[in-house]
Amino acid sequence: MGKVKALFRYSKLAFYKIYSYFCIKRKQYITLITLTGMKNISKILALLAMVLLVSLSGCSQPEPIKALIISGQNNHNWQVSHQAIRQILDNSGLFVTDIALTPAAGGDMNSFQPQFENYDVVVMDYNGDRWTEQTDKAFLNYVQQGGGLIIYHAADNAFAGWEEFNRIIALGGWEGRNEKSGPYCYLENGELVLDHRPGNGGSHGQQREYVMHGRNNEHPITQGLPTNWMHAQDEIYDSMRGPANIKHLLYSGLAETSTGGSGREEPLVFTVDYGKARISHIMLGHAGATLEDNPAMQCTGFQTLLLRSAEWAATGKVTQPVPDDFPTEQTLSLRKDYGKKK
Ligand SMILES: [Zn+2]
């Protein structure tokens, strides 16, 4: 019996070491099976093998990424956009998503105090009243501590007078932005240029389908994606202004004058150079009237950029393969069900 006890103690120690190696780092938890009372060595070993298998299989499923969508006020149809974003994230199986809605315009912002620090990535779908000083500080603290953030479409219209927010988005438009907000920023001969001429920031022509032009095929968000692809009907933001602290420009598009645009090649998807934070700014995705009538957000290209940006912002990596249904330069691709698994 003494030998059995010694072997049992040794086996238990070995199990804990193996368990720690495979699970603890990944924050996985399994039910420990009590080994006391076992008298048969072969039974102990068989049980250890079983527990190891359970722990290994438990560890193979990565924890979902915790995402928070901020919405509740916008000059856009936020009732549609925040639901579309939630469906895209959750349907991927990679994320679990919460929503934090502000009160309606003019409401008491004291009730809006999201726990940003509980999330791996925050998606800004908000363009409305200023938050409280306390919520501003909590947001800045989250971002400055290296938080993951997505600036989606009209979120870059928000908070024109908040200097630090303008550094977080790099470029913004409307809401009184002008030469005091920073230069215009667009491409000439494939290079970003800064243009300090006076004028309002933020404009767009008529909605239309347009080709996205890839500017970086090495960033985790864009690696493997086609350089050029056809985006579904959407606005194309132009003449945006700001500190222009773009880190990596990922995609641009031509704002053709024939449809009321600036005539310039405009940055549309980029990461922002802001300390330790991982920020992806996606200007695409003007929300439609309903979830069913919402081509800009149904575009597989938009959804892929959102999903890859969210994973990268949360973890610094992208594990998602290039989808088979990604659009080509000539062919649109829509996921009207926002990626719902069949
Ligand atoms: Zn819009």
Q: Which long-range contacts (CB under 8 A, 24 or more apart) does 11-18 make?
A: 11/35, 11/44, 11/45, 11/48, 14/48, 15/48, 15/51, 15/52, 18/52, 18/55
Query: What angle do helix axes 300-315 and 78-91 make, rounded to 10 degrees?
Result: 70
Please report whether residue 172 resides in a domain. yes
Taking the centre of ligand 1 as the mean of its atom positions, its distance from the CA of residue 287, in whole angstroms, is 7
Read off the CATH number of the domain in which 84 is found. 3.40.50.880
Please report whether residue 25 resides in a domain. yes
Closest C-alpha to 106, from 121, 128, 75, 82: 128
Taking the centre of ligand 1 as the mean of its atom positions, its distance from the CA of residue 172, in whole angstroms, is 13
Q: What are the CA-CA distances from residue 149 to residues 56, 276, 286, 302 (Å)?
A: 32, 11, 19, 16
**pLDDT attached to residue 55:** 53
Taking the centre of ligand 1 as the mean of its atom positions, its distance from the CA of residue 194, in whole angstroms, is 24
Taking the centre of ligand 1 as the mean of its atom positions, its distance from the CA of residue 25, in whole angstroms, is 42
Q: What's the domain count of the chain?
A: 2
Is the domain of 33 the same as that of 145?
no
Please report whether residue 105 resides in a domain. yes
Percent of the chain residues topping a pLDDT of 90: 81
Is the domain of 195 the same as that of 306?
yes
Q: What are the CA-CA distances from residue 252 to residues 21, 130, 176, 214, 267 (Å)?
A: 44, 30, 24, 7, 4
Is the domain of 178 the same as that of 285?
yes
Is the domain of 43 the same as that of 77?
no
What pLDDT, in 10s, does the model give residues 237-259? 999 999 999 999 999 999 999 99
Is the domain of 143 the same as that of 87?
yes
Amino acid (one-letter) located at 193: V
**pLDDT attached to residue 234:** 98
Taking the centre of ligand 1 as the mean of its atom positions, its distance from the CA of residue 336, in whole angstroms, is 19
Q: What are the CA-CA distances from residue 140 to residues 71, 105, 162, 167 (Å)?
A: 17, 22, 11, 11
pLDDT at 101 over 50: yes
pLDDT at 182 over 70: yes
Taking the centre of ligand 1 as the mean of its atom positions, its distance from the CA of residue 268, in whole angstroms, is 13
pLDDT at 37 over 90: no
What pLDDT, in 10s, does the model give residues 207-241? 999 999 999 999 999 999 999 999 999 999 999 99
Taking the centre of ligand 1 as the mean of its atom positions, its distance from the CA of residue 286, in whole angstroms, is 4
Is the domain of 191 the same as that of 90?
yes
CA–CA separation, 151 and 169 (whole Å): 7
Is the domain of 33 the same as that of 125?
no
17 vs 128, more confident: 128
pLDDT at 4 over 50: no
CA–CA separation, 263 and 190 (whole Å): 14
pLDDT at 14 over 90: no
Which range of residues forms the domain containing residue 17?
2-58
Pairing of the two strands 148-152 and 278-282: parallel
Beta bridge partner(s), residue 65: 95
**pLDDT attached to residue 62:** 80
Is the domain of 150 the same as that of 72?
yes
**Domain stop point among 58, 80, 98:** 58
Please report whether residue 261 resides in a domain. yes
pTM of the model: 0.84
